[in-house]
């Protein structure tokens, strides 16, 4: 008997229901097994252990939705293998706590495997150079998403917006984009403020790779170099976070990989915003970036330069404002 194949339009509600069910089950399992994220001194609102198997639920819901989709052509072997590898790498980090150097090494290996299986960036025409560029892009986006995941619901919401934008830019990618976006929406029932489930490194690595791989696939499918800029703009929120946090740490002569309260979400909260308000700012920014990316895919070279100039100017101005708000936690006085 043949499996039921559902039309792509049903992927969002289907994946959302699967995401809701899988996240609830993963929360119970995580609490039972003790797979929790302990309170972080840099994140004041997280004062109790929180289940962190959200990434596993996200991947399961995505796989379930795609298995019932009528169109599997847009899910390449490189995307499937990379998603599983990065999910496993992040889960290992959740359980064991990899050192920054080992974590980077594992990420490079996972990205190399994904690229070898087809997740490439066809810009120069040279297979080696394009492969190296793809590996670097994947690792950068994975770490950018990982850096951004410091506020309940923020990354899941930003990912939904970015995925919808990537689908609009390259319609052949609607199936995986909608499946992952729907799974994120279902998980948000538990991940939105106040979160009872975290993505964990497994979730941020999974989402980071999926976003990176789909942006590469958009360029590959269209064979258009201008889509590289469009993909980068769509992922503007995590890319801004990575650059901003790195700059803030280096500015204080601290290692860029060492944890701190420099994340834009924590600085917004230090300025008085709630977690929901912080999410609203991030999601709005993601929407602006998504529109800029969608526009860049359709504009002339001069238009793309104008969009890029506007975005850079806005980001520089935003950075100047954010640097004024110090989110470093004040040591508690002994009682």
| Structural domain contains residue 3 | no
Per-residue pLDDT of the chain (335 residues; tens, 9 = 90+): 344 455 567 889 999 999 999 999 999 999 998 888 877 666 656 667 899 999 999 999 999 999 887 655 567 888 999 999 999 999 999 988 899 999 999 999 999 999 999 887 777 778 889 899 999 999 999 999 999 999 999 999 999 999 999 999 998 899 999 999 999 999 999 999 999 999 999 999 999 999 999 999 888 766 566 788 899 999 999 999 999 999 999 998 888 888 888 999 999 999 999 999 999 999 999 999 999 999 998 888 899 899 999 999 999 999 999 999 987 764 444 33
DSSP designation for 333: P
Computed on alpha carbons and rounded to an integer, the radius of gyration of the chain in Å comes to 19
Segment (H or E) for 34: none
| Structural domain contains residue 171 | yes
CA dihedral sign, ordered 63, 67, 71, 77: positive
Quick count: other Cβ atoms within 10 Å of Cβ 250? Answer: 11
Q: What tens digit of pLDDT does each residue of 258-289 get?
A: 888 899 999 999 999 999 999 999 999 999 99
| Structural domain contains residue 51 | yes
- The domain of 158 spans 8-322
| Structural domain contains residue 219 | yes
| Structural domain contains residue 332 | no
| Structural domain contains residue 242 | yes
Rounded-to-integer distance, Cα 248 and Cα 243, Å: 9
If one counts the domains in the chain, the total is: 1
CA dihedral sign, ordered 299, 305, 306, 310: positive
| Structural domain contains residue 317 | yes
Q: Are 226 and 300 in contact (CB under 8 A)?
A: no
Q: Are 98 and 146 in contact (CB under 8 A)?
A: no
**According to the model, what pLDDT value does residue 233 have?**
95
DSSP designation for 173: G
| Structural domain contains residue 2 | no
Q: Are 200 and 37 in contact (CB under 8 A)?
A: yes
Backbone angles phi, psi at 331, to 5 degrees: -60, 135
Q: What tens digit of pLDDT does each residue of 77-131 get?
A: 889 999 999 999 999 999 888 999 999 999 999 999 999 998 877 777 788 898 9
């Amino acid at each position: 008997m043949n499996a039921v194949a559902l039309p792509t339009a049903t992927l969002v509600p289907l994946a959302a229901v699967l995401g809701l069910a899988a996240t609830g089950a993963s929360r119970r399992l995580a609490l039972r097994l003790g797979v929790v994220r302990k309170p972080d001194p840099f994140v004041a609102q997280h004062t109790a252990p929180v289940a962190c198997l959200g990434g596993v639920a996200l991947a399961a819901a995505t796989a379930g939705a795609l298995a019932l989709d009528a169109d599997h052509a847009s899910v390449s072997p490189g995307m499937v293998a990379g998603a599983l590898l990065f999910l496993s790498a992040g889960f290992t980090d959740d359980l064991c706590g990899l050192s920054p150097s080992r974590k980077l090494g594992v990420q490079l290996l996972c990205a190399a495997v994904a690229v070898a299986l087809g997740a490439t960036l066809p810009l120069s025409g040279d297979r080696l150079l394009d492969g190296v560029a793809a590996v670097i892009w994947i690792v950068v986006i994975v770490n950018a998403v990982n850096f951004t995941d410091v506020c309940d619901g923020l990354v899941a919401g930003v990912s939904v917006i970015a995925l919808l934008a990537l689908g609009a830019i390259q319609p052949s990618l609607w199936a995986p984009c909608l499946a992952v976006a729907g799974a994120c929406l279902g998980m948000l029932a538990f991940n939105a403020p106040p979160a009872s489930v975290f993505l964990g490194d497994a979730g941020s690595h999974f989402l980071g790779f999926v976003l990176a791989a789909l942006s590469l696939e958009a360029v590959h499918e269209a064979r258009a170099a201008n889509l590289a800029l469009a993909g980068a703009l769509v992922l503007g929120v995590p890319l801004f976070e990575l650059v901003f946090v790195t700059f803030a740490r280096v500015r204080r002569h601290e290692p860029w990989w060492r944890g701190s309260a420099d994340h834009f979400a924590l600085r917004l909260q230090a300025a008085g915003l709630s977690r929901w308000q912080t999410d609203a700012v991030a999601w709005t920014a993601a929407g602006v970036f998504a529109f800029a990316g969608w526009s860049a895919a359709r504009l002339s070279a001069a238009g793309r330069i104008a969009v890029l100039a506007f975005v850079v100017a806005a980001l520089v101005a935003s950075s100047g404002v954010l640097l004024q708000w110090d989110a470093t936690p004040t040591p508690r006085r002994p009682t």
